[in-house]
Amino acid sequence: MIIGISMSLLIAGLLGWSLTERRINYRHALRLEAKNAAEALVEYGFAQLRYKFDNQTSLSEDALKPGSPDALKKPPAEIFSPHVETSSIELIGGVIPPIMEPRYIDPNDPANEFDPLKGKVVLAKDISIFGKASVTSNIGGPPITSYVTQRLSVRDAPLFAHAIFYNLDLELFPGPEMHILGPVHTNGDLYVASQGSNTLNFHGITSVAGNVYHAWKNGVRGNNNSETLGESPVRFINRDGDLINMKVGGVWMDSTMGTGDVTPDFRSYASNTWHGNLQTQAHGIQNYKPVAFPDYEEDNPATPAYDPVNSGHDIIEPPLPPSHPDYNAEREAQKIANKACLYFKVSSSGHITGYKKDGTPVAIPDGLFEYKPNQMKDRRRGFNIDLVDVNMGKFKQLIESPDSSDNDKHFGNFDPATEWNGIVYMEFTSSDPELGRSGVRLYNGRVGAPGQGIPSRGSDPGFSFATNNCLYVRGDFNADGNMPSNSSYQPEAGEVPVALYGDAVTILSNNWDDDVSKTKNKPRATHTEVSAAIVTGLIPTGAGGSTNSSGGAHNLPRFLEKWSGKNLYIRGSLVALYECEVDDSPWSCNYYSPPRRLWGFNKLFAQGIYPPGTPLLRTYRRIDFRDMTEAEYTAAIQTLPWNGSGS
């Protein structure tokens, strides 16, 4: 009997212990469920905030105040498990700082090793989000509540903080050796190959929102679809400064790792090999785009029409009136046309009128512009074009040393001392059927030469010129033409930050002759130097089902001459933001031979000195996640200004 009682007591104790352990484990599972629910709330808040900042340039400090139109909304109750008390969940956004502060992303900080913006100065603001979620037990006991917070860092980086930036797929297949001495980003896929016996080298961070391939895009080969894919080294830099080839043991270690399909193994391989200097969507790289612009989308080949979403082209388009069905105030604010202090309109007959930012007419002095019908032959486009020639030396005099006593030496009704902001826009009538047979050309832009140069004055030096038409640049531009060995990146005396925007941008050498262009294919070029950020369009590889290549980034600036053996220095930033809409002629090698491409990232841009009106690219990063106690959570919410105790 004693033994029986002892066994009963032992069994009862074991059962009690087992039930207690079960309750403990169950409560622990509920705690995890509460924490997961609170984290999901914060993630839902992040998605809302990102959408708001993607489509608005700014929000007021109290925009997230509960009850306001922009307050964070709770997710639908059905996304939570039945244990979550959806009636008591809280999702609260904090104060939005009124200004963005400069922040240097230190590449030497281990925490930034995989930050695609490392090494750049960004403008940033951090917004806290708070989440609270409670769960209840099926077997009784008090609810379990989790409190969490995390900050969303909204970061704006200048568009020209990249040596190369593509809003579309980026292709590079140069023949001569090529070195890219700055950050590279594409919102699409990256296709790379080195076609000669030399190397293609990336010396900065390369971020890819899609995947990286050693391949032709869509199987369309270069040089009129006749080239064989090159096998020479394609190298990316690692943390030690060494250039590491993507090809290992006969296998190209791109996003497919030689398997033929994209593999998740690329993430760890790239991280261990290039230490954050080559990242793709596998690493979480997302699209960078100017604020308020929708994502670019390629043509859908399944539909009969050619229908890309080419929203980036809006940045060089004329303003839309508020009554227009496509009017978007946030997007309008980003257009170069709406930032310009001088706005010029070119009629179909070549008559040019000028306006100030507020629309007031401006008298244009003689010698600044000249309309030249049928002036030169663009053999890529296949016909002679009408040109508006812009004398940059004259522009410089009018802005920097105007003489109000001489009508030929000052703008009528425009005071550069108080009204100049460095941004100029030239509109060609979009409805004009001859728009596709015209263009604007900048010349006399050599620094230090009498009667030439770039206009610049005031506290924000530099010059930005944009047009909705094709843009041509003739001769040395914003450079002295001396071309020492470091000319691809080292600024020269008298140089200012410059940006050039056009539907397509063509570089004409110092040797260009309009008359010769009409009678001779591939006229001979000579050494030329250009210092500018170039924002332009392209015709995508395989557009509309064709077998035409885009030409790659090495042919993004267009050429019309025989450059063989001649140097072209471009010191700046190359940006492909949209598809061409005015000139959709395909790339080929039939009308030019390429220069020795000595292209680099301007040190002015690397130092944070940019052209006036430089667009900003918005990105996001989650920082400082932490669990909170109830007391910490309550105190944090009470300190928000709209709760009466914030400052």
Contact 427, 337 (CB under 8 A): yes
Residue 645, φ and ψ in degrees, nearest 5: -125, 10
339 sits in which H/E element: helix 336-339
Pairing state of beta strands 383-391 and 616-628?
A: unpaired
pLDDT digits (tens, 9 = 90+) for 423-478: 999 999 877 776 789 999 999 999 999 999 999 998 889 999 999 999 999 999 99
Q: For residue 307, which of 134, 544, 58 has the smallest C-alpha distance?
A: 544
Residue 409, φ and ψ in degrees, nearest 5: -125, 15
Q: How confident is the model at residue 7 (pLDDT cuts 50, 70, 90)?
A: low
pLDDT digits (tens, 9 = 90+) for 379-403: 999 999 999 999 999 999 999 999 9
Q: How confident is the model at residue 243 (pLDDT cuts 50, 70, 90)?
A: very high
pLDDT at residue 8, as a whole number: 58
Pairing state of beta strands 121-135 and 278-279?
A: unpaired
- SS3 state at 292: coil
pLDDT at 5 over 70: no
**Residues ≥6 apart with Cβ < 8 Å to 157:** 117, 120, 122, 123, 288, 616, 617, 619
pLDDT at residue 1, as a whole number: 56
pLDDT digits (tens, 9 = 90+) for 585-627: 999 999 999 999 999 999 999 888 999 999 998 889 999 999 9
Rounded CA-CA distance 461/499 in Å is: 12
How many other C-beta atoms are found inside a 10 Å radius of the C-beta of residue 47? 12
pLDDT digits (tens, 9 = 90+) for 467-520: 999 999 999 999 999 999 899 999 999 999 999 999 999 999 999 999 999 999
594 φ/ψ sector (left φ>0, alpha ψ -120 to 50, else beta): beta
Contact 498, 610 (CB under 8 A): no
Helices (H), 340-483: 392-400, 416-419
Of the listed ranges 10-19, 429-438, 588-597, 633-642, the least confidently predicted one is: 10-19
Rounded CA-CA distance 379/558 in Å is: 11
pLDDT at residue 4, as a whole number: 57
Average per-residue pLDDT for the chain: 91
Rounded CA-CA distance 158/437 in Å is: 33
pLDDT at residue 429, as a whole number: 87
Q: For residue 577, which of 611, 540, 603, 608 has the smallest C-alpha distance?
A: 540
- SS3 state at 166: strand
Structure tokens at 151: 């900050």
Contact 594, 178 (CB under 8 A): no
Cα(first)–Cα(last) distance of the chain, in Å? 75
pLDDT at residue 271, as a whole number: 97
Rounded CA-CA distance 349/205 in Å is: 48
pLDDT at residue 647, as a whole number: 44
Rounded CA-CA distance 497/240 in Å is: 31
**Residues ≥6 apart with Cβ < 8 Å to 516:** 523
Q: For residue 196, which of 222, 166, 169 has the smallest C-alpha distance?
A: 222
pLDDT at 290 over 50: yes
Give the mean model confidence (pLDDT) for residues 330-342: 95
Sequence-ordered strand ranges (E) for 249-401? 251-252, 278-279, 289-290, 342-346, 352-356, 361-362, 369-378, 383-391
Pairing state of beta strands 184-186 and 206-208?
A: parallel
Rounded CA-CA distance 183/206 in Å is: 6
Q: Global pTM?
A: 0.88
Residue type present at position 150: Q
Among positive and negative, which fits the CA dihedral 29, 35, 37, 39? negative
Structure tokens at 619: 């990105």
How many other C-beta atoms are found inside a 10 Å radius of the C-beta of residue 596? 15
pLDDT at residue 252, as a whole number: 98
| Upper half-sphere CA count for residue 66 (Cβ side, 13 Å) | 12
Give the mean model confidence (pLDDT) for residues 240-265: 96
Q: Which residues on neighbouring strands pair with residue 445, listed in sequence order?
A: 477
C-alpha distance from residue 386 to each of 377, 390, 444, 536 (Å):
9, 13, 19, 20
Q: How confident is the model at residue 26 (pLDDT cuts 50, 70, 90)?
A: low
Rounded CA-CA distance 610/83 in Å is: 54
Rounded CA-CA distance 23/38 in Å is: 22
547 sits in which H/E element: none
- SS3 state at 601: strand
Q: What is the DSSP letter of 409?
A: G
Structure tokens at 358: 């507020």
Residue type present at position 68: S
Of the listed ranges 29-38, 124-133, 623-632, the least confidently predicted one is: 29-38
Contact 550, 134 (CB under 8 A): no
pLDDT at residue 418, as a whole number: 96
pLDDT at residue 464, as a whole number: 98
pLDDT digits (tens, 9 = 90+) for 532-588: 999 999 999 998 888 899 999 999 999 999 999 999 999 999 999 999 999 999 999
C-alpha distance from residue 551 to each of 539, 574, 624 (Å):
9, 14, 44
pLDDT at residue 125, as a whole number: 94
Rounded CA-CA distance 447/483 in Å is: 12
Contact 132, 633 (CB under 8 A): yes
Q: How confident is the model at residue 227 (pLDDT cuts 50, 70, 90)?
A: confident
- SS3 state at 130: strand
How many other C-beta atoms are found inside a 10 Å radius of the C-beta of residue 143? 15
Residue 260, φ and ψ in degrees, nearest 5: 95, -15
Contact 469, 496 (CB under 8 A): no
Structure tokens at 180: 């890219």
Q: For residue 555, which of 325, 227, 275 has the smallest C-alpha distance?
A: 227
